[in-house]
Amino acid sequence: MNKQGTSETVISIGSTTSLLKRDWLPIVIVIAAALIALVFVGSPSIWLTLTLAGLAMGMMVFIVASGLTLVFGLMDVLNFGHGAFVTVGAYLAYAVLTMMTGLTVADNLVLNVLALIAVVIVAAVGAGFLGWIFERIIVRRVYGDHLKQILITMGGMIVIEQVVMMIWGSQEQLIQLPTSLRGAFVMGDAVVEKYRLLVVVFGSVLFLAMYFSLSHTRIGLLIRAGVEDAEMIQALGYRIRRLFVGLFVVGSGLAGFGGVMWVFYRGTLTADIGGELMILAFIVIIMGGLGSITGCFISAILVSVVANYVAFLVPEMAMTSTIILLVAVISWRPRGLFPLTKR
């Protein structure tokens, strides 16, 4: 059997096995949590507002955490500097917005969305390029050593944040949404912000694109096979290291994308913006299962909607609800909701 036939056989075995192990229970838990919250909240309109707000927050966390789970789970790299790419993406968005004022202030939905897409592309490409440099100069030297990875990536993040402040200054910048994306839709007594709906759409499209790319394309199958047995894939003639470098670049670009979504949601921009979501992102990837895009997506939604419900019902428990949820999930499934690796 030739190299191509052998590799396709090895990869197809993992793909078939994963299809046979579909698990719907975590999804049922998310739905059950929403229905239980409806009982306690009482008002359907308030519940709808809380749920959609939680979904939007979950999508932003997913966009940031999806790149981190790829790097952390598939490459076994503890990149504590991931927040730096979020910061760079946010500041690149700010720089591009200042040059596209005509498109963002126009009361035209098409022009506003095109401007937003252009900003996202520039931020993702810029963060991805920085990720490529980061991997070559910093991460490549510490593969396989988790302690050094933590120390050197955190140092890299501090350096990048200082460079950002040198270029753009340390003062807080105000960021405004494009005109057509401001305001909210009123559905009965429920109020739903337009931007949050757009974030839900963006996050859902990204999840579907990543899921099908990893599950139904040759590159995705090679990545998953390389996770299970990198030496075998290397022996078959594939340059698995180059593939993983590309994965690091994609993960960095996703962080830049998340930085754009987060800065518009936040409304203000500072150099420490990248660190705000990182604790939540790490919680999400651990809860979802290292390297699992589906687990990252479901856990991001679960964490965000539960935090929203608890903040409304018992404000004092808002900060601790996420930790309690993490402990509960890990006690139930120590490897996460949808474990992809054996780590």
Containing domain of residue 165, as a range? 43-332
Instruction: Determine, yes or no, domain membership for 11.
Output: no
Integer CA distances (angstroms), 277 to 50, 161, 270, in order: 20, 15, 13
Count structural domains, the chain.
1
pLDDT digits (tens, 9 = 90+) for 140-151: 888 878 888 889
Question: 40: which residues sit within 8 A by CB, 6+ positions away?
Answer: 309, 313
CB-CB contact of 134 with 81 (8 Å): yes
Please give the DSSP secondary-structure letter assigned to residue 337: S
HSE-up (13 A, CA, CB side) for residue 57: 19
pLDDT for 228 equals 66
What pLDDT does 20 receive?
37
125: in domain: yes
Residue 192 lies in a domain: yes
pLDDT at 305: 93
Q: What is the pTM of this model?
A: 0.85
**Is residue 57, in this structure, part of any structural domain at all?**
yes
Supply the CATH number for residue 186's domain.
1.10.3470
Report phi then psi at 193, rounded to 5.
-70, 140
163 is a domain residue: yes
In this predicted structure, what is the pLDDT of residue 36?
94
pLDDT at 75: 77
State residue 192's pLDDT score.
Answer: 82
Answer yes or no: is 26 within a domain: no
- Cβ-based neighbours of 113, under 8 Å, separated by 6 or more: 178, 180, 181, 198
Q: Does residue 223 belong to any structural domain of this protein?
A: yes
14-42 pLDDT, tens digit per residue, is 433 443 346 788 889 999 999 999 999 88
Among the listed residues 210, 237, 173, the one whose alpha carbon sits nearest the alpha carbon of residue 292: 210
Residues in the chain with pLDDT < 50?
A: 1-21
- d(CA 127, CA 336) in angstroms, rounded, equals 28
Residue 154 and residue 81: Cα distance in Å, rounded?
A: 5
**Structure tokens given for 134:** 């980061």
Q: Which two tokens stand for residue 229?
A: 């047995």
Is residue 245 assigned to a domain? yes
In sequence order, the β-bridge partners of residue 193 are 184
